[in-house]
Amino acid sequence: MYRNDTVLPFFGILFGVALWYMAYLDGVHIQNLLGHTPEELSVGQLGLITFGIVFFLYGAIGYISAFLEGSELRPGRHEAEGGVAPVILTIVLTLILVALSGVFVNAIAYGLTEGPVKSSFLGQLAAGIFLIMALLLVIYKKHFVDDEVLAEDEHSEVPW
C-alpha cells in the first residue's frame, strides 16, 4: 500500500535545518579566523545552504502530501469537503496576493522613475507572492478537488 509517511519528511526538515545551522557555524568560524565578517558567503557555506534547501524542500513536499492525501491512500472516491472557512481564507489570501503584487509593481515603478529599491525588499515581496500562491493551491486541492483512488492488482499488466 502506498503511504504518505511523515517520517522521511521529518528527517528531511531536520537535516535541512541542521545543514543550515552548520552553514551558520561555518560563518561564525570564518568570522573568528578573519577577525571580521566577510561580505560574501564561502563556498562551503553555499554548499551547505544548497543541500539544506534541498532537504528542507523534500521534507516540506512530504508534509504537504500527507496533509492533502492523508497518510494512506484508500481506494474509492473521496469527495472534497468544501466549507465556509476555506472560502473565507481563499478570499483573504487572494486580497493579500493582489495587494502584494500591487506593492511589487509600485516598487518596480519607483525603481524605474526615482531610484533603485533594495533588492532584498523586492525579493521578500516575490517570496510572499509565491508562498501565498502555493498556499492557495494547497487549499484548493484540499477542500475543492474531488479525488479518486484506483486499486490495481498486485500483478498488474504494468511491467514495472
Partner 1 sequence: MNQNIERIEVFLDESKEPLQVLTSPPFKVKLDTRQIPDGPHTLRVVTTYKGGQVEEEIIDFEVDNLPSPFIDGIDDGQQVRGEVEFEVVTGDYAAPKSKGGLSVVGAVVSAILVLGLVWFYFAFSPSVTDVVKGQAVEAAGEGAAAAVEGDAAAGKELFAAQCASCHGANAEGAFGPALAGNPIVENAASFDKIVKEGTNAGMPPFAQLTDKELADLRAYLASLGGAEAAPAAEPAAAAPAAEAAATVDPAVMSEGETVYLTNCAACHQPNGEGLGTFPALAGNANLADANLVIDRILNGAGTMPGFGGQLDDQKVAAVATYIRNSWGNDFGPVTPAEVAAKR
Footprint of partner 1 (CB under 8 A): 34-39, 94-95, 98-103, 105-107, 109-110, 114-118, 121
| Residue with Cβ nearer partner 1 (53 or 108) | 108
* CB 91 to partner 1: min, Å: 10
* CB 134 to partner 1: min, Å: 19
Contact (Cβ atoms closer than 8 angstroms) between residue 143 and residue 81: yes
| Residue with Cβ nearer partner 1 (34 or 150) | 34
Q: How many CA atoms lie within 13 A of 80 on its CB side?
A: 16
* CB 106 to partner 1: min, Å: 5
Query: Residue 34 in 3-state DSSP?
Result: helix
Q: Which residues contact 94 (CB under 8 A, 6 or more apart)?
A: 136
* CB 35 to partner 1: min, Å: 5
Virtual torsion, Cα 102, 107, 109, 115, nearest 10 deg: 170
| Residue with Cβ nearer partner 1 (91 or 134) | 91
* CB 69 to partner 1: min, Å: 30
| Residue with Cβ nearer partner 1 (98 or 151) | 98
Q: Residue holding cell 492533502?
A: 68
Question: What grid cell was written down for 9?
Answer: 519528511
Contact (Cβ atoms closer than 8 angstroms) between residue 131 and residue 57: no
Contact (Cβ atoms closer than 8 angstroms) between residue 102 and residue 125: no
| Residue with Cβ nearer partner 1 (37 or 156) | 37
